[in-house]
Structure 1
Amino acid sequence: MTTVGEAIRAAAEALARASDTARLDAELLMAHALGVSRSDMLLKAMRDPAPEGFAALVARRAGHEPVAYITGEAEFYGLTLRVTPATLIPRGDSETLVEAALQTCPDAARVLDLGTGSGALLLAVLAALPGASGIGIDASRAAVDAARVNAAALAGARAEIREGDWHAPGWADDLGTFDLILCNPPYVEDDADLDAQVRDFEPASALFAGPEGLDDYRVLIPQLRALMNAGAAAIVEIGAGQAEAVGTLAAEAGFTVQLRRDLAGRPRALILG
């Protein structure tokens, strides 16, 4: 009999070629296979028999499929979110936007999340602002479906998820105005060299934005002011080398611009006011 602990050790060795977090990946996949939390598994199940389905999960990860897509969930700002291959996997770096939002607009009553994906940014802010409500917009019907599951579970009637494309005329006509706008748009250059687990599995429509990664900023930023109440802020995620270019686009649209860095010190978000 192979125990859970033995199977995890063997899986971590096998995944070392595909992942920088092989041991963690193996533990998360095993907990998923067992149907328990990782902490409960580590405390209570390490000597139990390993489940038969675990090897298939490890094989998927060895092929660079992200753990979040295998398990169907990801953690973000203390929330557990449903994710699918139609949504980007929420990343800890994007929590910079949530922190900036809560510091800049602590009294926001109405929130808009553009390119909502799984709903991560919107739902994290609403969880921290229990008196607020908001709308999440995404151009992908499949992403909208996933975000609606998360919104129903985490925010109830306070969060509405709609299908919409900021490239289309009239997309914002019935949205009204907001105290806070969040946006993590596509911003990767078309020829960027990405890890296989990103390039081969995450949705290209949510990643790529032209040769400089700026196409969506050029379309979206000039439209933001009409969606903002007096004193509102818009917080947009940027790539590590895009602060100056996106900041210039925002200044040309009449915004003041503040830069926020993530925990690694990389430029991560611009606050537009």
Structure 2
Amino acid sequence: MLAPSTIAQLLQNARRQIAQALQLPDAEARIEAQALLRQAVGAVSRAWLIAHEHDIPSPAQAAVFQQLLQRRLAGEPVAYLLGEREFYGLDFSVTPAVLIPRPDTETLVDAALTRIPPTTPCRVLDMGAGSGAIAIAIARHRPQARVTGIDSSPTALEVARDNARKLGAGNAEFHLSHWFAALAGEQFDVIVSNPPYIAADDPHLAQGDLRFEPAAALASGADGLDDIRLIVRAAPAHLVGGGWLLLEHGYDQAEAVAKLLRKAGFGEVGSGADLAGVMRVTQGRLP
């Protein structure tokens, strides 16, 4: 009968399996293995794992870890397995009902914060709020702003509202709406959105984490721009004069989005790069 494995042995075996099965770099596979084992033994810290590397987890803890590991080896995202993801320095709850917040989207928050005065009341709209990551990050950094997040998914809104409560974003509220449908007559100083922008036939939709994320939040027509066209076309009626519209988009869409903004009458159109240097956010100002 084999002796029970120590924490160090479990991590070593899991790292090797994750790296091989998911074609991940060794360092990334190690971080994932640690995250899964931390969850299994009671949400402990990485430092705890290192300090207790010679300990032997209980049979129940080892069983939970193996269940999590097998789900990860099948491709299920770590964020869904753990039920959380860090974004803009905040820990957000996530479920399969929402997109997993990604570091590149912090570029959109950065850009929005430059357009939102830190001490003056204003209204901000986040379209397609999902987990509420964008709206809540903005609300926490601009306490004078009233931030409204909308989404067409009731289950996503439950996640967003829970995150707002947990993270103390009392100036953020979330409502059910398919884009601007429920916002008749309302106007905002700043509108931000990370809408679906992947082409419907993009092979990446059948790869990696995207396989497990809500399809309606990912794909948008033959060229990925259907929802962006809708937002750009309708946004002027919901912006005050001088208001800003900021959109996250795909790696090769900055020029197309900029053209749409100019055609809709926006000025001061420009794009900003994400952490990898890819033009990821394009914005424009209503005259």
> TM-score, length-normalised on structure 2?
0.89
Could you tell me which residue of structure 2 aligns to residue 210 of structure 1?
221
1:74 alignment partner, one of 63, 80, 85: 85
Deviates more, 1:111-120 or 1:189-198: 189-198
Match of 1:131 in 2: 144
Distance in 1 (alpha carbons) for counterparts of 2:260 and 2:176: 26
Alpha-carbon contact 1:118-1:147 (below 8 Å) kept: yes
Q: 2: distance between equivalents of 1:79 and 1:94?
A: 14
Q: Which residue of 1 aligns with 2:72?
A: 61
Query: In the alignment, is the contact (CA less than 8 A) between 2:139 and 2:169 conserved in 1?
Result: no
Is residue 246 from structure 1 mapped to residue 253 from structure 2 by the alignment? no
Give, in angstroms, the shift of residue 37 of structure 1: 4.2
Tell me the residue number matched to 1:97. Answer: 108
SS of aligned partner of 1:200:
helix
Give how far 1:86 is off.
Answer: 0.9
| SS at structure 2 position matched to 1:157 | coil
Kindly provide the amino acid, as one letter, of the partner of residue 206 in structure 1: A
The answer to which of 198-207 and 17-26 deviates more is 17-26
Give the Cα–Cα distance (whole angstroms) in 1 for the partners of residues 187 and 48 of structure 2.
Answer: 46
Shift of residue 262, structure 1, vs aligned partner: 0.6
Q: Is 1:221 aligned to 2:235, yes or no?
A: no
In structure 1, the partner of 2:39 is 32
- Counterpart residue number, 2:157: 144
Q: Return the alpha-carbon distance in structure 1 between the equivalents of residues 23 and 150 of structure 2.
A: 32
What residue number does 1:18 align with? 22
The answer (yes or no) to whether the contact 2:176–2:182 under 8 Å persists in 1 is no
Residue 122 of structure 1: aligned partner: 135
* 186, 194, 202: which one aligns with 1:184: 194
**1:261 counterpart residue number:** 273
Asked if structure 2 preserves the Cα contact closer than 8 Å seen for 1:139 and 1:163, the reply is: yes
Q: Separation in 2 of the partners of 1:45 and 1:150?
A: 32
- Kindly report the root-mean-square deviation, in angstroms, between the aligned alpha carbons of the 2 structures: 1.6
CA contact (8 A) 1:105 1:233 kept: no
State how many pairs are aligned: 270
Counterpart of 2:271, as a letter, is L
Q: Gaps spanning 5+ residues in structure 2: where?
A: none
AA of the residue aligned to 2:16: E
Q: What per-residue deviation string (whole Å, max 9, x for no partner) do you get for residues 238-265 of structure 1?
A: 1011111111111111012110001211
Contact 2:116 2:142 (C-alpha < 8 Å) held by counterparts: no
Change (3 A) 1:109 1:41: farther
Is the CA contact 2:127–2:151 (under 8 Å) kept in the aligned structure 1? yes
Tell which deviates more after alignment, 178-187 or 201-210: 178-187
CA positional deviation for 1:45: 3.3
Q: CA deviation at 1:109?
A: 2.6
- State the TM-score, normalizing by the size of structure 1: 0.93
In structure 1, how many angstroms separate the alpha carbons of the residues matched to 2:50 and 2:115? 41
Report deviation, 1:19: 4.7
Can you give the 5+ residue segments of structure 1 that lack an aligned partner in the other structure? none
CA distance in 2, matches of 1:214, 1:178: 23
In structure 2, relative to structure 1, the CA distance for the partners of 1:45 and 1:262 (3 Å cut) is same
Q: Do the aligned residues in 1 keep the contact of 2:128 with 2:179 (CA within 8 Å)?
A: no
Q: Which has the larger radius of gyration?
A: 2
The one-letter amino acid paired with 2:236 is R
Q: Aligned-pair distance for 1:43?
A: 4.5
Q: Which amino acid aligns with 2:126?
A: D
Query: Would the aligned equivalents of 1:97 and 1:269 in 2 still touch at CA under 8 Å?
Result: yes
Please report how far the alpha carbon of residue 36 of structure 1 lies from its aligned counterpart in structure 2 after TM superposition. Answer: 2.5
**Does residue 112 of structure 1 match 2:125?**
yes
TM-aligned CA distance change 1:132 to 1:47, over 3 Å: farther
Q: Which whole-Å CA distance do the structure 2 matches of 1:44 and 1:132 have between them?
A: 44
Cα distance per residue 1:206-232 (max 9 Å; x no partner): 000011001101111111122222332
Contact 1:190 1:208 in 2 (8 A): yes
